[in-house]
Every structure is written in structure tokens, then in C-alpha cells.
Structure 1
Amino acid sequence: MGKSQKKRSMRRHNPMRVPDSHLPKGLAAASESSSKTEAILPIIQKMQGADAAERKWACVAVSNLIQNDPSTRRLLQGKNIVGTLITRLTDSEEEVVVEAAGALRNLCIDGGYDICAEMYNKSILVPLQTFVPKLSTTLSQYLDDQKTAPENAQKLVYEFANNVITLLWCLSETSNKALNAINQLQLVPFLISFLGARQKIPLATVTAAAQCLYVLSDDNPPAIADLRADGGYIACLLSILQEPPQDEADPRTGTLRVLAAGILRNVAPLPPPSVASALDLDAEIVLPQLTPLLSISLTEVSETALQLLGSAPETEKPKDSGLKNTPKSDHKSPAEVGLERLENRLRTVQLALEILTGACATLPDPQPDVLIDDEDDDEEGDENSDDNPDADMATPEEAVPDSREQTQSLPSLVTPLLQLIQPTTLSFPPLAAPSPHPPTTSALSAIHLAAFECLNNIFLTLARDRHANAADVGAVWDAIWTALGLVGTQTGLGQEQRRAVWEAATGVLWGVATVSRGIVEPKPEQVQALMALCDGATADAQLRVKCIGTLEALAQNPAFVDANATIAVYLLSMLPSANGPSPAGTEPMLQAASSLIDIYSDEDAPWDINFRSGGYLARLQGSVDGIKTAVRAIDRRKEGGKELRRRGEEVRDNLVAFIKYRKDLGL
């Protein structure tokens, strides 16, 4: 089993609010599906015009047009709106620059990685890096004497800082190339200055700085080193967690506290002489700060969102801008404000879950493979190598030497997490009936996924720790299947989040089944669902491995010998034979062979009758040559190849020994 992790190529937080993968590609398709096509050309023209007021209006109009409207966003992209807005970052009028940065910020948040990559490729960092020192200087002046500038000027600067910081945050998640470029800006002192002045500047700007700092400190050594180098930075983060919230009604107050906890966890272990260096960060800071957030009722949030959507936003009419072809004003109705607060609250819970997922993983991250450059490596010689395939692999006991206290606290998280995996009416709408409010739907489905990933790490840890006391595994098992029944199996463009939830849930099922081996009932419909999921995941070896591992555990219930036979026959079908290689692929095939060994390692088990009467020994024996061939073919130079080769050699040797053992029994 593997814990939920992010890859450097796709970082943990996805800034995209409303996925648009279901939309047809191409400018013509965007034009056909957008209801605002006629508004595009006037906006582009005004943005490049001589009138500063019209340029400002055009930048604001872009933000309004793209809100929850991916078709129009794609249409604007096709008209090079990104390049046009980047040009406006060097506009002679400050307000135009501010609004251009705001429009680019909103494009990042609504559009995700593709737009961020386009911005990076069009050199947005060139103007952005000039803004950082200017903002630092202005911030220092305002904080020294807030009377030096009128309130509206300060508001403009803080709004601009928010836009610039959010752009840097989103860009840093785009690619390693963009992250390395942003590392060169050495943003940590700049961002910390906003956190230190949080009592004097708007909460939105402070939160944006914390978000950016959280992302930069996530598995990024340069930023981590900068944070650890100054004890004042650590003290600032700790003080955020110790002081009472500024505004209990504003969800961003809670977000700031969650981010502070997350940043501290990112830079752990905290360096002395910080008073926190001796703390157990997860047990004493992260869990106490974040666990209360899990008590949110997603059903109530969904119902509130629907009520807000049903209210009449026309009660307050937006003011006329005086310009023709104008999109709606940026005025927000009470319903829109309420929906935005709900989304902020949901995103805070999502963030807390992501941090808890890391805290619940008490096993170390696997080390990256070292690429093998020796072209003359003797693949045949590996089969009889004297090297111990497990020589540099830690045993569970070695991997978690002091985790027992934390492990014992993990089951307390299970009950609230089981509530968070249950979909609401807004979580997974079918493509035929799109969500009435995509941002809420996006946030809800992200929470369900994050809760599953957190459960995955909890049960991985419980399965690895023989001293752990599991929760009521039967109730957990039933709750997972109830949730999956509500998620459904609809596939296709726009339904990717359903698939992601199933993938994460399968990891949890594997962990629960392992912890409760011999306890959970292998219900036929659930066994068939796992087999169908496995068969349908031909391109996802890891998902197939999870399904096989879960089936292995289900097969070991002494009261269901028939289910054992059904599962065994399925696993045997994945093995190679004299007629050809495994139809399942190398990694799933190795897991199937390993599972069969584990299932039938005890000849006194009630289900062993299936092994003897079904002729499984002969089938296993007939697979040995094919497994040896498959193991020799594993390319250790590919990503993950070294570990897979090691795993394959272990399974191969275990299978040969198991066959000899069963033969010697003479049963």
C-alpha cells in the first residue's frame, strides 16, 4: 500500500476552481458555447485604446466575463488576452496596472495550470519581479505612518499586492521551471512582512501571502532554508496560532491559522532556539488546530448554497457604467457574497485535510530512484544475484520507530472523515444536468477526495502497525461503499473527479480490509465492483494493485469459502501461462501472485480446500517461467523501475519457495 502523495510535476494545490475538461477544444467550439461572444471584441479594443478609463474598464470586464464561464475564458485565451493583459502591467496608469493584475489573477484561479503556463511562457515574471521591491517599500512607509497616504490609496496598494502575490502563488505551482525562477526572487522576507503586519492590513492580502508561503515551503528546499534561517519567521507563524481570530465571521481567519500550521509543518523540524523546536508538531500543533474544522456539515453547506442560489439577486441593481457592450458590474449581491463565503469555508476545510493527510502518514516518503547509466548491465545475472532484495528497504518497525502514540490517536479522526466522504446533492452532478454553482461543486468534490486520501494514510499506518487499535472497521467499510454508491460510476469528460474519488477510495478499502482481515464480509456485489474497476483500469497499474490487494484481504474470511474461490480464479487469470504473458501487466501480475501466496500460505485455513480441489498449485507452477521473464524485462532505468524490479525478484523467489513448500506438503 502507498500513502497519498503529490508529484512535483503536479503540486498539491490545484488553483483551478471550476474544471472545464468536458468542454470541446478549439476556438470555434468556445465561440459556439459562449453566450458572450459579442462582448469580446469591444473589450480587446478598449484594452488597447488611448483612454485610460476604458483600459481599466476592459481589465475589469475580463474578470467579470470569465467568472464561472470556462467557454468565455477559452474564447478570450484564443484572442491572446493573456499577452494583452501582461502588456497592461507596464501601463502608465496605476489603476490600469492594478486591474490588469487582478484580471490575470482571476484567470489563474479560474483557468488553472494551462493559463499559468501560458503566462510564464509569455514572461509575466519580468514585470512581476519589479513590483516586489516597490510593494515592500510602500508597505514599510504605510506601516510606519498610516496617515501618509489616503485610505483609498492604501486600499489600492493592498489590492494590488494581493493580485501580485496570488499570481506568484499560482505560478509557483505550474512547473518546476517556474518554481525555480520564483525561488530566485527570494520572496520569503517579503511574504512574512505581510503576516507580521496582519493587524494593520486587509485579511485578504495577508491570507494571499500565507497561501504563497505555504506553497513555496512545500517540498522546496530554498524557501524552507530561508524560513528556518530566521527565528523571527517561526515566531511570527506561531503567534498566528496563539492569538484570537480577528474576525470569526470571515472564513479567511480560519484559513490563515490553517496555513500557519501547514507552513510550520512544511519547515519541520523547527530549528533551535525556537521554543517550538522541542514540540511534537503534529500532535501538539497540527492535529489540535485542524481537527475541529472536520466537524463541518457538508449537507448543510450544500443546502445553504441552494437556498442562496434560489434567492433573488436582482433586489440590488448594479450601477450603469456608461459604456456600451458592458458585461455585468463587479457589484456582488448578498447571495453572491454568501456563496463566496461558503466556498472560502470549504476551501479551508480542503486545505486542512491536505495537511492532515501528511500528518497521518507516519511512514517516510520513498526515495527517488537513481537512474542506472550502465548500458552493459547484465539482466540475466540479477536472477541469481546474492544481493538481498530488501537490503535497503526499511521494515515497518524500522520505518515508524516512535509512531505508537500518534498511531493510537489516528482512529479518532476516522468518524469525522467518514462524514466528509459522503456526497451531497451538489457534489457530483451528472454532465446532463450541470451544477447550478460550479465553484461550490468543485470545492465539495475536492473535500471528498481529500478526506479519502486522509483515510488512506490512516489505514495504511494502522495496517503497518501491529499495535494499532482499529476503529469499527465494519462501519467504516459500509460507510465507504455508501459514499461510493452516491458518487456513482458515470465516466467521460467532466466526470474525472468521480474517477479520482474511486481511485483514492480503493486505497482506503485496501487498508480497511487489511486491518480487518477475516472480519469484513466479501459481499458478491462489492467483489464484482472491485473486479470491474480493476479490469477497467488497464492504464493505471497502481489502481489495479489496490483492487487486487483489497480482494486478497477479502478472500481470507473463513465464513465465505465460495468468495475465496471466486477471487482466487480471478487472480489466477492475471498470471502468465505457457500460452502467453500476463494480460494484466507486470505490476498487477506481481501483486496477484503475491496475493495468492499470502491467501494460501496456511494449509489449515478453511478456504485451502479451494487450492487443492481447484488445482491451483499446477497453475502457479505453470506461471513461474513467465514471471521470471517479466521480471527480467523490467527496465530499472525508468521511473519506479528499480523498486519494481526489486519487488519482482522478491515475488519470483517467494513463488518458487511457496511451490516447493506446497509440493512437500503432499496435500
Structure 2
Amino acid sequence: CWGKTNSPMPTQGCSPAQSCEFHRLGRLQSPSADVREFACASISRVVQQSQTIPGFLQRDAVRRLGPLMLDRSLAVRETATGALRNLSACGGHEVCDDMVKQDVMTPLTALLREVRPSLVNHSLTLMYLWKNTVEDVANEAVNLLWNLCESSSQALSVFNKAGILDVILQCLERHTHNIKLALSAAHCLHTVTEDNAELLCSMNNAVLGTLESVLLSSQADMSHTLLRTLAAGSVWNLKSSLPTAHQAQTLTALMATLSQCLELDAGTLIPQLRQVEVARSATASEAGNMEDHQAAAGNMPVEEMEDDEEEGVGLRKNGKATKIDKDFSDLLPRGKEELREATALLTAQQTSLEIIVNMCCSDDPSDDEWEEASSSDESEMCPDGLSEGNTSLLSPLCLSAEVHAALINHNIPEKVLKKTQFPSSEAMDVCRHNPTWKILIKKMHRVQYRALTCLHNMLSTMDAESLGGAAALQAIYMSLYSTTALSQHVSWMTHCLCLCLCVCCQCMTPQQMMSLSEAATCCDVVSVRVNALAILGITGSTLAKENGTAETLQMIGNALLQVATKDANLVVCGEALDALFDVFADGDEAERAAENINLLSALKALQPVFKAKIRKEGKGKYSPEQLCVLDNVKVNLRRFIGYLETVVKK
């Protein structure tokens, strides 16, 4: 703890760590602004260690810090808001929910309203330093708001009702003077506009005008590239609010933004940025100039900024991309401008790919809601009549001709294909050999994962020729298939299998397909094994309709039987049986292959074993939903055996 305290000592039995928490929180009530500021800064640093968070929450830290966001000292406001920001960022969804339940949104919205005049009225005669401090406070507040709205539906509801959208837009409009603040606002807006029907009614021409002005900005640095990309994502989220007359123009600007972002070569730019940093460091008068200590409010150490996202898991069941990881580029230590630029570039490219994923998502469960919304008279509900005449140009019901043409005209498929390649060895070496740049390695891989997801969705909504034809897809598959890295990354397995499903008949030999499937079905992760088996089943059922495929069907059938017989997880066994039903359900090739592998005899032998396992293991190890699925598989197995018996008698 810092200095002496007049606060009462903690109760007997507190650990040293608990005692420190007590003292830090006690100093928040100090009459000295300097002491309050230091206490907030201390808490801001400590909560970066996730194990300390429960102790602070148990001592009502949120309710103690909340009022300090409105402290008479701007420095205290900044550090208090920064401490809450770190708490929300490091604590995760549950902590964010808890913070909202403890009414953190009330002082936060009050703070945002208070800082708005200094953001709006540029004629105020303020000293530059003071105004800059106000914007620093706003930056911490907007980041906190972003974290809370991303994790809590209650926080999002408060955002919708509190009328603070204007504050976010004012922060965004500061992009020519304060890119850090504008980026925070852009991230927040991108989050709050996603699947937020209530907010659509707050949209007006001023909102869309601000976003369009950002899209048309011309600054070439990576921070502005990220800013434009986030604005593009917000525009896409708000597509149902676009006036019909402006849809084509806005779509063109949006696609141009994504195209320009993906055109940048991180493999070349990252080594160049690192060289600039090294040269600047060599000329610094003191070595400490490059490693200046972090500002107290909100700053997190570089090595702790990465999340625990499983690599490549960025796809919902409906095919839409999810935003799992956070961007902490503004929390890098001072003097790391080049690293900040590199981080912004990779975040922008990841975001661009996620937007394209959602553009090409034709299996959204909310399609009915979209259809109802587009058929209703929304002009009565929304200001400026922005929804009037909203038609099919940006409809998510399918990949419209206009969107398809825009993707092709801006060479988006070609640029996505390039991003599916492994990160350049030169860029990887630069990051491996410098501790502070190592955080970019995961980000480079994440761009590739998103590109593979994007390619998968494109294949479901566009023909192969739009993606360069079978030869281009085969080249991608072979570059992934030939590397030993596949066995080290679960998510690549899943994405590659999805890719193979779409192109295997044209691009893969049966041996290649079975080799990849074997690797996936041996994976320790149950979900990957299930995905692999499902894809084998769909692939086999497709091949069964073609002539001369009996040999490949035999290979698939033997592989599925092996899993159904030997896998320790009943859900995986059930998926293997389901896949067998799909592959051998119909067709001369399937009948021939089933006879050659003695499928009927194998399933008859397996049936009592499978039933016994469900009865013995089911209730203890599997959920009611899983047991229901397994019971259906058991019934279908009996029926399928009956079907095979009739085939044999023919």
C-alpha cells in the first residue's frame, strides 16, 4: 500500500492481499485529490490480475469507484473510470453483468453527458491541456461503455434509453484531432449497433452522415484504416435504416473501405514498422524514452492484453461472425506508435473479414424478423423516414445481385483468398524475436482464421468461379493440407473440413480427404470430431449420387464404422451413425459399397452394444438434450438395419 492511512485497519484474519485491497478502497474517500487519484490508479493496475477481482467486488469496489467518475478533479475522474474499465475488461462477462447490477451505468451516463459540451462546442475558451484531459476522461468512459454493452443486455438497454448516442457520435467526429478517442467511439458504436432493433429508431440522417464522412476520410495511417473499417461495420449493422436513394452509394463506399483494408500486406508492413521503431529507438537520447511507464488510468501491460479465445472460434451456428476478442491497442505503453499501428492494421483486417462473413451469411435465424421489418411501415417509427422504401439491395435474405456484384467489382474474393494463406515468415520472425511484438502472432493467425470462415460462407452463397475456380480453391487446400501445423490448431481442422465439403469432388483425392478426416476424428476436442463426421456424412451422400464413387464410399463407410464402434464419447458415436445413414441411404453406388464393407452385419453387431451404452452411461454423463438425440439415433439405427435387409433381399 502507498503511504500511511488514517482508515481503520481491516478485521483480524485478513490476508496481506486483502489488507491492501481494504486500504486502496479506503483511500478512495480521502479529502486529498492526489490520494484519491493514486488509489484509483493502484486499483487500475491490480485488477489486471484476474485473481484479485473477486476480492474487490466483495468489498463493493464498483459502488465506491462509481461516484468518483463525477469527482471535482478531472484526474480522479480519469483514473476512476480507467479502473472500472480495467475491471470490466479483465473480469469478463459475469463481472460486467455484476457491475451493471451495481448501477455503474448511472454515474457513467452522467459523466458522458457532462463531457459532451467540451466535445461539441469548439469555441469554448479552454486551455488545450484541460480540453485534452476532458477527452482523456471521455476515452476511458467510452471504453467502459463499450465493454459493458458488449457483455450486458441491460447495459445496452440503458444505452438505448439514455440518449448517449449523440455523445458517441461527437467522439467519433473528433477523428481529425483525437484518433484515440474516435477509435474508442467507433468500437463502441460497432458493438451497440449489432442486432439492436431498438436503436434503429434513433437513427437519422445526422448519424448516417457522420458514418459516411468517416468512410470517406483519406488519412492513410493504420489507425484511420481501422476507424473506417469499424464505421463500415456500423453502416452494415444499420443497413435497414438506409434510405433507398443512398443504398448504392453507401454500399460502394463500404466495399471500397473493406477492399482497401484487405489490400494491405501485413507481411510486408509489420517488418517495415518494426524497422522504423528500431531506428527511432537508436536515436533516442535515453533508452527509457522507448519504454516510458504506462499512464495510470486504464493501461494494461502488453503481455496481459491477449484474451483466452480458442483460436479461430469466430463462427456462430448460423454462420455469422462473432466478436470475441478485444482491441487494446490504445493501452500499449507510450513510445510504441509502430506497434500500435501494426495492431490497428491486423484488427482492421480481422474486422473487415467478419463484416464480409456476415454479408455472406444466408442462414440467419432472424431472417423472418428481417422480412417482417422490411414489409412493415417503419417510416412512422423512425425519424427522418429513413426506413421508408427499404428494399432488397441490402437484404440479408440472400446474397443480392448488388452485393454480389460489389464484392466482385472490388476484388473482395481474391483478397479474402490471399488472407487464407499462412502469415509471412518474415513478419512472424520479427514478432518472435521481440517480446512486445509477440502479441501480433495470435492476431496474424486470427486474420487467417477469419479469412477461412469468410471463404466458407462465400462458398455457400457464391459459385466457385467467383472465387477463382476449382484450381484456386485446390491451391488453398493443398497449402493447408501440406503443413504439419494443421495438427496443432483445432480450428484450422474445422475450417479446412468446411472448405473441403464444398470443393472435395473437384479438388481433393479420396486419400487426401480421408487423411484430413482421420486427423480431425482423432482430435481431443469433441466438437471438432462431431463436425468432421457430419461433413464426412454430407460429402458421402453427395458422392453417392455420382457414378464410379463406390470405392470412395467404402473408405468413408469404414472410417465412420471405426468411429461408431470405438469412440469413447456416445455423442460422437451417434454422429458417426447418423453420417452412415446419410451416406448409404440411397443409390446404386451406395448399395455396392455397403455390400463390400459388410455394413449390415457390422451394424447388427453394433446395435446391442450402442443400446447398452446409452442405458448404462447416458444419465450420468450426458444432458437431456444429448440423450434425446441419442435415442433418436437408436431408433433410426433399427430402421436403417431394416432398410438394409430389404436391399439385400432384392
Fold match by TM threshold 0.5? yes
Q: Distance in 1 between matches of 2:104 and 2:271?
A: 41
Aligned to 1:136: 116
Instruction: Tell whether 2:258 aligns with 1:290.
Output: yes
Q: Distance in 2 between matches of 1:658 and 1:149?
A: 84
Instruction: Tell whether 2:546 aligns with 1:569.
Output: no
Aligned to 1:486: 485
Contact 2:565/2:606 (<8 A) preserved: yes
Deviation at 1:475, TM superposition (A): 0.8
Q: Distance in 2 between matches of 1:466 and 1:572?
A: 37
Alignment CA distance shift 1:87-1:589 (3 Å): farther
Aligned to 2:159: 182
Deviation at 1:131, TM superposition (A): 1.4
Q: Distance in 1 between matches of 2:643 and 2:499?
A: 25
Aligned to 1:231: 205
Q: 1:276 aligns with which of 232, 239, 246?
A: 246
Aligned to 1:253: 224
Alignment CA distance shift 1:651-1:136 (3 Å): farther
- Which ranges of structure 1 fall in alignment gaps of 5 or more residues? 1-26, 32-36, 370-397, 490-497
Aligned to 2:326: none
CA-to-aligned-CA distance 1:9-57 (integer Å, 9 cap, x gap)? xxxxxxxxxxxxxxxxxx99x98xxxxx999898667655443223324
Contact 1:350/1:447 (<8 A) preserved: yes
Deviation at 1:624, TM superposition (A): 9.1
Name the amino acid aligned to 1:153: W
Aligned to 2:6: none
Name the amino acid aligned to 1:170: N
Alignment CA distance shift 1:412-1:443 (3 Å): closer
Instruction: Tell whether 2:58 aligns with 1:105.
Output: no
Name the amino acid aligned to 1:260: A
Aligned to 1:10: none
Contact 2:193/2:234 (<8 A) preserved: yes
Instruction: Tell whether 2:137 aligns with 1:160.
Output: yes
Name the amino acid aligned to 2:77: V
Q: Distance in 1 between matches of 2:634 and 2:550?
A: 31
Q: 1:515 aligns with which of 488, 497, 503?
A: 503
Contact 2:190/2:230 (<8 A) preserved: yes
Name the amino acid aligned to 2:208: I
Alignment CA distance shift 1:253-1:306 (3 Å): closer
Structure 2 counterparts to residues 188-267 of structure 1, below 5 A:
188-195=165-172, 197-198=173-174, 201-227=177-203, 230-241=204-215, 243-245=216-218, 247-249=219-221, 251-267=222-238
Structure 2 counterparts to residues 244-393 of structure 1, below 5 A:
244-245=217-218, 247-249=219-221, 251-272=222-243, 275-277=245-247, 279=248, 284-300=252-268, 303=271, 315-317=287-289, 336-365=336-365
- Which structure has more relative contact order (CA 8 Å, sep 6+)? It is 1
Q: Distance in 2 between matches of 1:184 and 1:61?
A: 33
Alignment CA distance shift 1:452-1:581 (3 Å): closer
Alignment CA distance shift 1:592-1:409 (3 Å): farther
Aligned to 1:9: none
Q: Distance in 2 between matches of 1:465 and 1:623?
A: 44
Name the amino acid aligned to 2:167: F
Q: 1:549 aligns with which of 535, 540, 543?
A: 535
CA-to-aligned-CA distance 1:498-524 (integer Å, 9 cap, x gap)? 44x33xx52442343333425411336
Name the amino acid aligned to 1:104: L
Give the SS at the match of 1:584: helix
Contact 2:96/2:148 (<8 A) preserved: yes
Alignment CA distance shift 1:150-1:92 (3 Å): closer
Q: Distance in 1 between matches of 2:254 and 2:128?
A: 37
Instruction: Tell whether 2:514 aligns with 1:534.
Output: no
User: Sequence identity, in percent?
Assistant: 17
> What root-mean-square deviation, in Å, do the aligned CA atoms of Structure 1 and Structure 2 show?
5.3
Contact 2:262/2:349 (<8 A) preserved: yes
Q: 2:35 aligns with which of 16, 39, 54?
A: 54
Q: Distance in 2 between matches of 1:406 and 1:213?
A: 26
Q: Distance in 1 between matches of 2:90 and 2:69?
A: 20
Q: How many residues of Structure 1 are paired with residues of Structure 2 in the alignment?
A: 557
Contact 1:426/1:435 (<8 A) preserved: no
Q: TM-score, normalised by structure 1?
A: 0.67
Give the SS at the match of 1:441: helix
CA-to-aligned-CA distance 1:352-381 (integer Å, 9 cap, x gap)? 111111112244436799xxxxxxxxxxxx
Aligned to 2:327: none
Contact 1:88/1:100 (<8 A) preserved: yes
Contact 2:82/2:140 (<8 A) preserved: yes
Contact 2:419/2:448 (<8 A) preserved: no
- Which ranges of structure 2 fall in alignment gaps of 5 or more residues? 1-13, 302-329, 370-395
Deviation at 1:128, TM superposition (A): 0.5
Q: TM-score, normalised by structure 2?
A: 0.69
Q: Distance in 1 between matches of 2:107 and 2:334?
A: 36
Q: Distance in 1 between matches of 2:86 and 2:54?
A: 13
